[in-house]
Amino acid sequence: MKYTAFVKRDCETCQLVVPALQELAHHAELVVLSQDDPSFPEAMGGAGDDRELEHSFRAGITTVPTLIAYADDDQETARTEGWD
């Protein structure tokens, strides 16, 4: 299973979920994309740069944080928007 997380520094919830993303990264392949600051989250060494929102647009992101799970064949299997 692979995951992609979309985050923003300017999002308080995104800041709160960094420890959960760090834990997930220890157990699975995780790509983190930041919509506003690629140095965020610093605790994870930063993120991919999505300031142009190209990746967000292609993935249909309307809310951050969003976590998308992909099967090994890159088909989306689940999506969590916001955080519960």
Residue range 7-52, pLDDT digits in tens: 999 999 999 999 999 999 999 999 999 999 999 999 999 999 999 9
pTM above 0.85, yes or no: yes
Res. 83 pLDDT band, cuts 50 70 90: confident
CA–CA distance, 73 with 36 (Å, rounded to integer) = 29
Q: Given its phi and psi angles, is residue 82 left (phi above 0), alpha (psi -120 to 50 degrees) or beta?
A: left
